Homo-oligomer: A and B are copies of this chain.
């Protein structure tokens, strides 16, 4: 027997395989992704079916267990660095488990490369790649996020010992939100104000050890914890840290763009664009585009498949005794809601492919100190991030409603809103029919008697008239009667009221 889904699929003349190659950049790339995915599918650790049943602390542990296994598998199979990173992406896509370790691989290591000197990298990169250092990126504070200039954490040079003292001087200066800070990271790249002999030199980055490398206990002076439950993103330990005069060696300042010497003198380094300070954030945003498209694609696929299988209600054109139910996907209201989302998922993903290619080019230029494309990159990263996440966020909410999931419960409970809107139209046409037939109608609907009257336009002129509620009631009544007239006309041509509403909604 052909399944309902197979029947739907058979109607398409497009080759799903060919589309896969386009969506995933090329045939060879798509096949590589499949080979990597097969490594994960074969391992029972990546069975994530029950993860939503676990309390948050257990969800975190499961996500860490899975992301740890990704590292083991990459080594066991001798993957190249590029394929290793791809395996991490495939893992996230397959399980939907955002793991805190991506803050290490995508933010911490990237910043280590960009912000620190070759000597500094030689010291820390082997430890970071070997997971002996597990890092986070601590920029956001309780009081400041987007406004980097307002950050308050201080890094004060201590000439006596050749150290910096990292300190949170106020409540609002506490580092707040950084992912992986609460439990995972033992090091953080901390954004702080550089203070030299009492003078503020603006914000710079500092490598700060947060936890003991043996016991994983917070180091003295680091008061750390979890910022608490969120609506989503449960696997990630977004955390806080209050620094109480924590000392680090002077050599722990990120010295690629600017440096401080033994006597506490500040200098900017020629040939290194200061834009590298925010380049990691920019890269992260650029990477959002493609993943946003794929996220919307998942939601749209689930909602469309469900709609092709789920039956509900009858075709009113078949008359009142019909017993063959329609697939939900047969309703044009459902198509109207879902098909544009599928189109958007394609558009965003393919745009993301282009953005990824651009990012590679931009990174290579930046490594050479060439910033010519940076402003365009900034515009692209901001503009496309806003556009695509807004489309996808609203689209996923639509998918959720189509699946009747519970979030804002009253939107879908006691009658889904799209269905109820049609019920409203039906009840109003019933009142109109009662009026036309000369039957009594309730007082609150008496103005329906004006349905065929010429429109008596409301023309408020004086301030008093503008403030008069009756003005607005009259305007709304006219608008309502206008729409009801149009609906009555449209529905009149159909087999029945129900069929008319179905055909015209």
List A residues at the B interface (Cβ < 8 Å). 52-56, 98, 143-147, 149-150, 228-233, 238, 281, 284-285, 288, 291-292, 311-314, 325, 372-373, 375-376, 378-379, 382-383, 385-386, 389-390, 392-393, 396-397, 400, 404-411, 414-417, 419-421, 423-424, 427-428, 430-431, 434, 440, 442, 444-445
Contacts and interface: CB of A to CB of B under 8 A. Distances in A.
Given A385-B420, A386-B417, 9 more contacts: A284-B414, A376-B427, A382-B415, A382-B423, A382-B424, A382-B427, A386-B421, A390-B411, A393-B410
B232 A406 contact: yes
A319 to B, nearest CB: 13
Contacts of A408: 232, 389, 392-393, 396
A421 B383 contact: yes
Contacts of A393: 397, 408, 410-411
A56 to B, nearest CB: 7
Contact of A444 (B98, B376, B428, B442): B376
B386 A420 contact: yes
A357 to B, nearest CB: 12
A207 to B, nearest CB: 22
B386 A288 contact: no
Nearest to A311: B143
Contacts of A238: 406
A146 B312 contact: yes
A417 B445 contact: no
Contacts of A285: 414-415, 420
A481 to B, nearest CB: 14
A135 to B, nearest CB: 17
Contacts of A416: 145-146
A53 to B, nearest CB: 6
A410 B376 contact: no
B55 A55 contact: yes
Given A54-B55, A382-B415, A372 B150 contact: no
Given A150-B312, A292-B410, A312-B144, A417 B389 contact: yes
B288 A414 contact: yes
A410 B102 CA distance: 14
Interface hub of A284, A372, A408 (most chain B Cβ within 10 A): A408
A356 to B, nearest CB: 15
Contact of A382 (B56, B231, B396, B420): B420
A372 B440 CA distance: 9
Contact of A375 (B288, B385, B390, B430): B430
A228 B414 contact: no
11 contacts: A145-B404, A230-B406, A231-B400, A291-B410, A372-B440, A375-B434, A376-B442, A379-B423, A382-B427, A386-B417, A396-B408
A52 B410 contact: no
A411 B389 contact: yes
- 4 interchain residue pairs of minimum CB distance: A55-B55, A379-B427, A383-B424, A382-B420
Contact of A405 (B150, B231, B390, B427): B231
Contacts of A232: 231, 406-409
B427 A375 contact: yes
B229 A53 contact: yes
B410 A389 contact: yes
